[in-house]
Chain A
Amino acid sequence: MHIPDGFIPISQCIVYYVIVIIVGYFAVNWAKNNLDERQIPLLAVLGAGIFAIMAMNIPIPWGTSGHMIGSPLVSILLGSPYAGFLVISVVLIIQALAFGDGGLTVLGANIFNMGIIGSFVGFYVFKALKPLIKSAGSVFIGSFLAIFIAAVACAFELSIAGTFPLEAGLIFMGLYHAVIGLVAEGVISTIVYVTMKNLRPDLISSGSLD
């Protein structure tokens, strides 16, 4: 889902940058007010962990492979979408600068898709569903929807930019990421959440427990 450089014209890139900077402002404020000092190293180390997790290819039926993004899971575990946003932004910045994964001009759009949509959709779907169904189920649906909607948004962005027609984009991006979201993000996040809840419930934010 990493859009490369040159696929979105500069004028539209700026729009995404502005959105990201506004959310980033709130996120930094949130971090200042709600994080105690000891959680800052935690966010950083989680970033490094997510980086390693993203490098892990997961076999997907149909003979392809995908990887996790992790923003919904981080948001759920730490109890705020801003946490997921901060961690994923850091990861995406390093990926763009040091590895060339995703471009620099489109960094705003990439953070918007994976960081903002990924974290906020994942977290709030989880929050909304938690009173209704078991928490494991809501982790699954939240993470799946987060990735799926982010992919759909990505298809829309590319079509607004005039790079890829909407219909084909929705079919390719949407279908592919629906499967990846189901397996890589949904199932794996649920496994991580459930085992973590059994082993170290103290590490999960109290709002995200049953």
Chain B
Amino acid sequence: MNVSLNTLELEARKDSVIHNLDARIKLIMTLILIFYSVYSSDLLILLLLEVYIVMLVLFSKISISYYVKRVIYILPFGGFIAIFQPFIRPGTILYSLPFGINISYEGTIFGILLLSRLIVCISMIVLFSSTTPMNSMINSMRRLGFPKILSMILSMTVRYLFVFFEELDNIRNAQKSRCFNLWNRKISYIWRLKQIGYTIMGIFLSSFEKGEKIFFSMVSRGYSGESRSYFKQPPLTIINFYIIALTIAIIIFIEISKYYKII
């Protein structure tokens, strides 16, 4: 978890061309671009995709510092493995370090490829999540044919995420106000673990209790296993078609240029 939920939602509810696109279109576009960048293994193509994504970011009016910060926060998880590639992949040795560690040419190339792919994918997903409120993300999945029971669980999970993060914050604040510090090494480790266990148990218990409460409030509003919820479905504006056509056109263009060996 790298940003607070509230900043995420605030940023996602801004008003711009990209924000106003239909969530389904954005989801499909994200999937197309991510699958395509994982499929391609040419640095130039990845660069082109990244340029396209950055242009979308500029159009979307999200704060650039916020955007870059999010990309950089997510990067280390995979970046770590990419950075190790030159040392672990056998191949032509570029440079020998002491202790028998060699930097190989193949490894360096592969590492750079992994890292660039990662950057493209993360920039796309951060753009998607910074311009789409979680609720519309889940709704769009439902409308694209996700199984009913799963999308129902998904949409309710999203709704209660915020409640639980607040609850966790409350528990932590209560612990802090009693001078409890999880990372204090002077306190016995077992005792600290126990406190974490109790905190987690508290969250579990309140989920069980809330689950029941929510069920009753749903029933009192007419819910049954067969009930269907109605969502207002705004019509797709023309810009949605333009943007998805543009994305597909770019990919076709890249593929054609690749075929004729222009790039």
Contact = CB atoms under 8 A, between A and B. Distances in A.
Contacts of B63: none
Contacts of B118: 4-6
Interface residues of B, number: 74
Contacts of B206: 49
A105 B34 contact: yes
Contacts of B150: 24, 28, 86, 89-90
Given A2-B77, A58-B196, A68-B200, A48 B152 contact: no
B53 to A, nearest CB: 13
B149 A28 contact: yes
B210 interface: yes
Interface stretch (A120-128, A129-137, A186-194): A186-194
Given A4-B121, A28-B147, A97-B129, A40 B153 contact: yes
A15 interface: no
Interface string B215-229: 100110001110000
A45 B156 contact: yes
A38 B35 CA distance: 38
Q: Ordered nearest first, which 5 A-B pairs have the shortest CB separation?
A: A191-B197, A42-B211, A4-B78, A44-B156, A6-B117
B81 A163 contact: yes
Interface string A83-122: 0001001110110111111011100000000000000000
Nearest to A95: B1
A209 to B, nearest CB: 15
B163 interface: yes
B88 interface: yes
A68 B196 CA distance: 11
B10 to A, nearest CB: 14
A45 B1 contact: no
Contact of B204 (A9, A31, A196): A196
Contact of A191 (B154, B163, B193, B208): B193
A22 interface: no
A120 B121 CA distance: 31
Given A2-B77, A59-B182, A104-B35, 7 more contacts: A40-B152, A42-B211, A49-B207, A59-B189, A99-B8, A99-B129, A100-B70
A168 B81 CA distance: 11
